[in-house]
Structure 1
């Protein structure tokens, strides 16, 4: 019998509003075909215009290779860009335009890097703040804000910024939910992001479930998958969080504002399971 989570996953979908539908049609209609020999000039620094055949090839190749090596962030980034347009990244941009905070982000265009955000300062903040939670997560996981690739394959310049913003906020999503960068934590966060943003790459990344160990897959379907779907669908659009303005505020206040509940700690859950296995093995050896 299918679990309630699996059933809701098949039935639940956020229908776009009528205005978003018309905006999407206009975007698709303006999508100009071109050939390799007649490639238009870049629309922003680093932009690489692709033909539709090239975009399909990029999506297929990056999807296959990133499944084999989930640690290749460049492949996951390419997959995200190749599958996001013309509809899905425009939908996310429209979600920002519908929010006063989202509109301010689009106007200000802040960036999240080690140059724009002082980790030394964030480490001095009280432990309950968003900034300290973010810095502590980065330190614990051994990553920095500078690991996110620049957007290259999104044609619309404003949508390219939206994708860049989503990409640079990814570690904040990790920090607020407490999910680590181990494969089990990444799959859970991608499920949350898919439910919240509908970006195809986040949904396609769930194929990594097949690479999880048996106990990890069981935990995903029983615990982290239902948590991700429930929190991702009912919480506010996380793309509209102006993280730079929340750094000195209470992280629990932010979770309450967004409507996000923290999932069970993945590392603690894995440790408890290892301890149980060791105890059971010791008991069996003692009996024998």
Structure 2
């Protein structure tokens, strides 16, 4: 089973970050008064000071251990700020994006009907997507829920971003390796500008061997920046409705070339 960036793990460091300011995930709602209270299921209101401490603590932990999915998730939420607003605004400018925000579909094993996708012909997007899940022994049900985004709508935008991650692998053909995941973060940075993707893009290569860094910067990064910036904003894609299309057609319609073979 290969590693993935977003996995459920224990959240002891997260609890330590909040405890230092007098709150824990179970107490944060009462420790930080909010005029509207809990904005959505799982929402944990925190103060600006707590947000800063959690952002710094999660950044150090995520850089030291990228497999800490809870810390990667916390870093993304505490630093997303205006960037989630920008993504939401871009979605509102697109018919499919508006429909996604209105209907709020979720990506789970049940909603994607994985057994049905396994019956699709080879080469279709749905068949290759579920093949990716099976090969990596992962599930769409393992995404960390959103806790620290103080807007119900923006929390959904963040959750949608997380849930569609595996579609990006299917679309781009990037391998689930350390340099492949970093390359995907460069692609996502060009697409979204989220600070978490920038941090992973700039500091992630420090963990690579010289050969891996050479491949990353000479092959993957130029491809990622070009295709991420010129392709369609993938947050505006209703992936659930593209499953029966051939992968090549999906790539062509979205303006994303498959990653170079190395």
Alignment of 1:77 with 2:80, yes or no, is no
Cross-structure match for 1:137: 132
Matches within 5 A, 1:87-102: 87-102=82-97
1:128-179: per-residue Cα shift (whole Å, max 9, x none)?
2110110011112221111101111111100110100010000100111111
Do the aligned residues in 1 keep the contact of 2:118 with 2:127 (CA within 8 Å)? yes
CA RMSD of aligned residues (A): 1.3
Give the one of 224, 227, 237 matched to 2:233. Answer: 237
Aligned mates of 1:70, 1:55 — CA distance in 2: 20
Q: How far off is 1:39 after superposition?
A: 4.2
Shift of 1:37: 5.2
Indicate the residue corresponding to 2:25 in structure 1.
none
Note the alpha carbon deviations across 1:29-84, whole angstroms, 9 max, x for none: xxxxxx95534411111101111111111111111101111111111111100000
Q: Match of 1:115, SS? A: helix
Runs of 4+ aligned residues of structure 1 deviating over 3 Å after TM superposition are 35-40
1:110 aligns with 2:105: yes
Q: In the aligned structure 2, how far is the partner of 1:238 from the partner of 1:119?
A: 21
Matched, 1:127 2:122: yes
Counterpart CA distance in 2 for 1:59 and 1:174 is 27
Q: Is the 8 A contact 1:36 1:51 kept in 2?
A: no
CA shift, 1:254, in A, is 1.1
Q: TM-score, normalised by structure 1?
A: 0.78
TM-score (ref. length: structure 2): 0.85
1:223 counterpart = 2:226: no
Partner of 2:40: 44
Determine helix, strand or coil for the equivalent of 2:110: coil
Q: Is 1:68 the counterpart of 2:64 in the alignment?
A: yes
Gaps of 5+ in 1: 1-34, 270-288
Q: How many residues are treated as equivalent by the alignment?
A: 231
Does residue 257 of structure 1 match 2:257? no
